[in-house]
Structure 1
């Protein structure tokens, strides 16, 4: 039985140990055919580091013959590509884990990483002129000037090209890791200034062809004006883009089928589709590779979430929190299976993230928390595209449900835990008190004044999110001759009751009894119980509720 060697992200180590490898070697041909510099943003744990080390061991000049590492892979059938194997000096650097609570701490870690990079190529020292040698030694000793450090990549490329009389391949992995950390900790401007000079300046096209190819990976596409200003040799292989890179990160349907066959795990095809499928990179349906690998490696343990546990979700939670109630309302629409169309911004300007819902949705798409499909022209702005956003799979759905629970906990919403008991006991006076209490804690008068019925509808939908393990909860779903505000269908016989909820909002001096009668009449006249009956719910187990809202005062009545 093959083995994935879970956790090994070095291509040479994986191949030397006989680890299972889904053949992504055609990535090499894509790089050869691409622009001088290619930026490839993909979500975390989608194979970026493994693929970058594959590129390193393919292109890098070495005393060791590395061709055997590629035996049996598709790239060996490409005679032209194999002519580039082992022909170039390579600069490989990962910026993973460049973290710090301050610019001084992060800068120290950056300089340590640059020092190690220059030590790896210290054979150059004997060939350098005095000024260049002194600058190089200062970078190694971590005592260089600002100019020494910011120009170090550009100079190293030039030195390697001169030494080998061959252009250089530059591979920078997780370039945005220090940028994201800087944004979180308040030294974004300092980090961007350094990265613009060091990375953007280093990869800038120069006459004489010192750079053969540059490949940069990360999660987000930081705005060109932030780091890559002046780079007219840059191509961005966005996950929204079709093209040669679209299927190179993550497992395609045919690749997954082959994996399941090789591991005698064909029985997992259905669960894999439910838990880890749903990503759309260009025209390709993509599975989360890390979760697939973990699920197979951990058999016979039940299939479950793995990707969510590889990093803290605090940043995602912070962005969702910053979106306020309107964004939470839209998130609850997604959890309820409703369609949401939004414009996306492929350039991440960190100063804008958290300030508008559009930037937050973009952040979630490119981080792997949402799927974007079916781009259509915006009717109001035809030159712009609006994408259909959806939650890609069950694993990510759990993350959003955890956020809703986290949101409630952060606001001391212990009362939400009582909702299930109150509903099952049909204790409508207590439900009135609970909803009024929770509304007073969360909803501002400004929120309620704008769209009172819609706001309270979304508010209650959010409160019910933690019941999704035992109830299918749908919002504005077609049933009978109309759309019920909320339908709750039990997933298990242990909880037999089903609920139909209709909302009405009234002004303070209006008669709540009239609104209640209208809501209950609407449930009956439009036959909202039809879909529940079709699903096998007994009529005596259906509870029809009218919830009438006057400001933050709530009335609940069963029909």
Structure 2
């Protein structure tokens, strides 16, 4: 805190800026954050839940939701060290529980993050893993002196990163045993982002080798037969990889799913109460609605949760306008890959989400990468666990009373932009960027139909190349147009397949501002090669009139004279647009 003393009077004034707390954006080391006086949202009761919890706990949460910070917090709480670290927990919630504070600084802790082990091949992964495990073994080098000769030689080979590949398979199990024998205390194992190299392996084509390694390395190290040797193990990641592929031998595993009500539900991400406290501390209470619109919307175990990375980044950037924060840090490759390779049903479901509506699907808590693309429920499960969907309102399906389903929706504006970005990329051509600008300008500048016709024709070339041009599904063309319109959501409310008049309109565009006051009704048609695109477009306009779709816009406050009717047809590579 800065103090300034005047010459005439010995008076001290305090700079107001120094009274405002400071975030440490990007700092995910608990000790560094506390030592540097960074603003800290107290999650220390997570420690209590780990002590009271299961022997091995897997906690899947999206990227940047505080997993690494919480894991380093566990490390500095439990880990034996020459200097006491108890001061780090002064004034924290866990300090009010003396019985739990007795565990502070009492255990050997094996801490390992796998988030930097992404490689383009299995051989390169093994090389990087040898280096990382070698570093870990060197942290406990004094142990080697107490080992029998054969074990000591193997230990030192791993330290020098000279061990054959097969010695890595038992390296975690052996280090746990060595620590227990040396310190005479059970061991705590903390493995952060365990699935990051597995996701990379799936994308790069060496998933089977990776799965075999992880089953042996992780499974063997954390087996129940370790008994008193292992006190607690905590594993974090995005996904719960199917037990039969990775955790098949871990009968002692407890999975803290974000779908479950339980003690871990509020330990990752910020709750409503925590956000309220943050906004008051930083004196930005007037930004609550913006933050809620952009970064709220997640639901973990019945708690409303905010994305912590995005919220912190936004507050740090005030007075700059809100923008995607989390999307700029997270790898979207697997998400985009699975959405792009999904079939017609996925495209239809994506259309529903983009229109602001909800889907209802079961969510699989056991992800097997090879099965992700086999049905929509697997893809939406991947998206939920990756942070791209909100899931709530669990109900058993009417068609199967034993199948639990969830209402799925886009959680906030930041994630909506991710889907819009995906749609733009999915059908991207060399002219796509300029084409999207021309497409947007048609609506904002009320240009003549031929401009929209030519623009859509250019943009659609990438779309029709993915299908037999004579069999392009109307729903896919509809979803494509809807995805392009998502770029206009700041000035238009976009509705899809909505009840209007005496039917269901394909797309309604309701103005949000007087600057762009024209409302649009769009009817999309896909016409067979031998069909008549001009007639189909005329029929589309007739359908709008006869079904009185205009009523929906009039009811929304759009004057009849401000309503434009558009019929858009696709016939092979030709787009026809009729306006009325």
Fold in common (TM above 0.5):
yes
Which of residues 133, 136, 149 in structure 2 aligns to 1:130? 149
Is contact 1:448–1:455 with CA below 8 Å preserved after alignment?
Answer: no
Question: 1:85: how far off?
Answer: 1.7
Specify whether residues 246 and 146 from structure 1 end up closer, same or farther in structure 2 by C-alpha distance, changes over 3 A only.
same
Question: 1:531: how far off?
Answer: 4.0
Alignment of 1:142-181 (within 5 A): 142-181=161-200
Aligned-partner Cα distance in 2 for 1:369–1:491:
26
Aligned-partner Cα distance in 2 for 1:26–1:520:
62
Aligned-partner Cα distance in 1 for 2:360–2:403:
12
Specify whether residues 447 and 271 from structure 1 end up closer, same or farther in structure 2 by C-alpha distance, changes over 3 A only.
farther
Query: Deviation digits for residues 111-149 of structure 1, max 9, x if unmatched?
Result: 111011111111111211112111111110112233421
Alignment of 1:120-519 (within 5 A): 120-206=139-225, 208-410=227-429, 412-413=431-432, 415-423=435-443, 424-425=445-446, 427-429=448-450, 431-432=452-453, 434-435=455-456, 438-439=459-460, 441-443=462-464, 452-480=473-501, 482-503=503-524, 519=540
Question: 1:232: how far off?
Answer: 0.2
Aligned-partner Cα distance in 2 for 1:390–1:326:
16
Comparing 223-232 with 448-457, greater Cα deviation is found at 448-457
Is 1:540 equivalent to 2:572 in the alignment? no
Is contact 1:278–1:286 with CA below 8 Å preserved after alignment?
Answer: yes
TM-score by length of 1: 0.92
Is contact 2:460–2:573 with CA below 8 Å preserved after alignment?
Answer: yes
Specify whether residues 147 and 501 from structure 1 end up closer, same or farther in structure 2 by C-alpha distance, changes over 3 A only.
closer
Alignment of 1:87-126 (within 5 A): 87-126=106-145
Is 1:530 equivalent to 2:551 in the alignment? yes
Is contact 2:57–2:256 with CA below 8 Å preserved after alignment?
Answer: yes
Which of residues 33, 44, 49 in structure 2 aligns to 1:30? 49
Which of residues 65, 69, 78 in structure 2 aligns to 1:46? 65
Specify whether residues 345 and 183 from structure 1 end up closer, same or farther in structure 2 by C-alpha distance, changes over 3 A only.
same
Aligned-partner Cα distance in 2 for 1:121–1:278:
44
TM-align CA RMSD: 2.6
TM-score by length of 2: 0.89
Question: 1:178: how far off?
Answer: 1.4
Alignment of 1:41-80 (within 5 A): 41-80=60-99
Specify whether residues 387 and 450 from structure 1 end up closer, same or farther in structure 2 by C-alpha distance, changes over 3 A only.
farther
Question: 1:195: how far off?
Answer: 1.3
Comparing 495-504 with 96-105, greater Cα deviation is found at 495-504
Is contact 2:423–2:480 with CA below 8 Å preserved after alignment?
Answer: no
List runs of 5+ in structure 2 lacking aligned partners. 1-19
Aligned-partner Cα distance in 2 for 1:401–1:511:
32
Aligned-partner Cα distance in 1 for 2:571–2:322:
46
- Partner of 2:111: helix, strand, or coil? strand
Question: 1:347: how far off?
Answer: 1.6
Question: 1:375: how far off?
Answer: 2.1
Aligned-partner Cα distance in 1 for 2:253–2:219:
10
Which of residues 28, 33, 38 in structure 2 aligns to 1:14? 33
Aligned-partner Cα distance in 1 for 2:420–2:163:
49
Is contact 1:170–1:215 with CA below 8 Å preserved after alignment?
Answer: yes
Aligned-partner Cα distance in 1 for 2:84–2:440:
65
Specify whether residues 189 and 529 from structure 1 end up closer, same or farther in structure 2 by C-alpha distance, changes over 3 A only.
same
- Partner of 1:383: helix, strand, or coil? strand
Specify whether residues 49 and 314 from structure 1 end up closer, same or farther in structure 2 by C-alpha distance, changes over 3 A only.
same
Comparing 366-375 with 112-121, greater Cα deviation is found at 366-375
Query: Deviation digits for residues 60-111 of structure 1, max 9, x if unmatched?
Result: 1222222211111111112321222222111111112112222221111111
Aligned-partner Cα distance in 1 for 2:123–2:320:
45
Comparing 224-233 with 440-449, greater Cα deviation is found at 440-449
List runs of 5+ in structure 1 lacking aligned partners. none
- Partner of 1:301: helix, strand, or coil? coil
Specify whether residues 545 and 84 from structure 1 end up closer, same or farther in structure 2 by C-alpha distance, changes over 3 A only.
same
Aligned-partner Cα distance in 2 for 1:179–1:89:
27
Aligned-partner Cα distance in 2 for 1:447–1:344:
33
Specify whether residues 383 and 120 from structure 1 end up closer, same or farther in structure 2 by C-alpha distance, changes over 3 A only.
same
Question: 1:295: how far off?
Answer: 1.2
Comparing 436-445 with 68-77, greater Cα deviation is found at 436-445
Aligned-partner Cα distance in 2 for 1:6–1:416:
34
Question: 1:552: how far off?
Answer: 6.5
Specify whether residues 352 and 256 from structure 1 end up closer, same or farther in structure 2 by C-alpha distance, changes over 3 A only.
same
Specify whether residues 505 and 294 from structure 1 end up closer, same or farther in structure 2 by C-alpha distance, changes over 3 A only.
closer
Comparing 411-420 with 108-117, greater Cα deviation is found at 411-420
